[in-house]
Homo-oligomer: A and B are copies of this chain.
Amino acid sequence: MDFSDTPSDAAFRSRARAWLEAHAPKRGAGRTFKDDMDLLRAARGWQAAKADAGFAAITLPKKYGGGGGTAIEQVIYRQEEARFDTPFGVYEIGLGMCIPTLIEIGSDALKERYARPAICGKEIWCQLFSEPSAGSDLAALRTRAELVDGSWRVNGQKLWSTGAQFSDFGLLLARTDLNAPKHAGLTMFIIDMKAAGVEVRPIKQMTGEAEFNEVFFSDAIIPDDHRLTVPGGGWKGAMTTLMFERLNVGADIGLIDTLGLLDLLGTDAFADDLARDLLARWYLNDRGLKLLGYRAVTGLAKGQMPGPEQSITKLYLGRQAQEMADFVLDQRREYGALTGKDLGDWSAIERAWSFGAAMRIAGGTDEILRNIIAERVLGLPSEPRADKGVR
């Protein structure tokens, strides 16, 4: 066992660190973005700079502007960038899921056209899978794409599309065959988000923010050469996308970690045995998940593909964020019902309270994640389904 890098990884790490130190502001510099446009501008510039240095999409091929590196290098770079205050949230979906899918299954022409501009930060991508009537059950989606005069005419509605409001292109999953069994009637496309018939509406969250969007299609047209899979092959394409999602190993998805909470609150908040027991329980979860991350990175280095067991992190941290928030706010009695500046220096806690709730739902509910572990890891049978093989 060894917690240090291999010589080549260590070399990569110091190269990444040196470059970041020369180009990125240190964390805690207190940089904020006044609005989405401001963030967007900063993110574009930063992505272009990363692409120049070969850090834009480390595992993607060099011929498209990627780094041509290993999955471990991607993890190492992510660890290093996390120490800096860089714009986040604009390119992650596109470069983590859409473009890898494109490169895996797209035509040469599409790869030539779209991969490089996305990697260099010129074009932004979003994912268009979920729908109002197809949340956990993705294959139940209803957005229709019909072949009309050699092009596809799209009608329907997508939901929970992160970043759709500033995206140039979207990876779209739509139903092209109403008569085929549920999973066999889907096809995957690239859609121009600025085209006629595509309308994006932000969804206001409980917190007032709007990270997600509804996307409406009314006779939006997609040329047939922007089809990514054979007609009816969309489900397999979607599975490819989700596999890339799992490669997001070692990413910090916690809202607030236990040691951060201890630093924030100080030891006085843990004066009684009950609070200390909670502290230790949370620490054991956080620390255990971090060690599981080490194990996943070790597997990655040996060429093992991460499995569905990755979902354990989200399963623990959403609920724990709610628990931590309740603990802190409870201690503050009447003051714990305040928000924003009146709550004081506790924005992390307020986020844990609200986003902890969201985290247990977005990207697979707790219930779906437990199903996945039970079925794919433990090999237990799936629920009886009334819809197997039907649409």
Partner of A274, one of B277, B383, B384, B386: B277
Of all chain B residues, which has the CB nearest A276? B274
Q: When each residue 347-391 of chain A gets 1 if its CB lies under 8 Å from chain B and 0 otherwise, what string results?
A: 000000000000000000000000000000000000110100000
Within 8 A of B (CB), among A256-292: 272-275, 277
User: Which of chain B's residues have a CB closer than 8 A to the CB of A277?
Assistant: 274
User: Which of chain B's residues have a CB closer than 8 A to the CB of A275?
Assistant: 273
Cα distance A272–B272 in the bound complex, in angstroms: 8
Cα distance A384–B381 in the bound complex, in angstroms: 14
The copy count of this chain in the complex is: 2
Within 8 A of B (CB), among A281-311: none
Q: How many residues of A contact B (CB 8 A)?
A: 8
Cα distance A384–B387 in the bound complex, in angstroms: 12
Minimum CB–CB distance for A278 against chain B, Å: 9
Partner of A273, one of B273, B383, B386: B273
Cα distance A383–B384 in the bound complex, in angstroms: 9
Cα distance A159–B386 in the bound complex, in angstroms: 35
Cα distance A383–B383 in the bound complex, in angstroms: 10
Of all chain B residues, which has the CB nearest A277? B274
User: Which of chain B's residues have a CB closer than 8 A to the CB of A272?
Assistant: 272-274
Cα distance A275–B272 in the bound complex, in angstroms: 11
**11 A-B contact pairs sorted by A residue (CB < 8 Å):** A272-B272, A272-B273, A272-B274, A273-B273, A273-B274, A273-B275, A274-B274, A274-B277, A383-B384, A384-B384, A384-B386
Question: Assuming A272-B274, A273-B275, what are 9 further A-B pairs, CB within 8 angstroms?
Answer: A272-B272, A272-B273, A273-B273, A273-B274, A274-B274, A274-B277, A383-B384, A384-B384, A384-B386
Shortest 5 CB-CB distances between A and B: which pairs? A272-B273, A273-B274, A384-B384, A274-B274, A273-B273
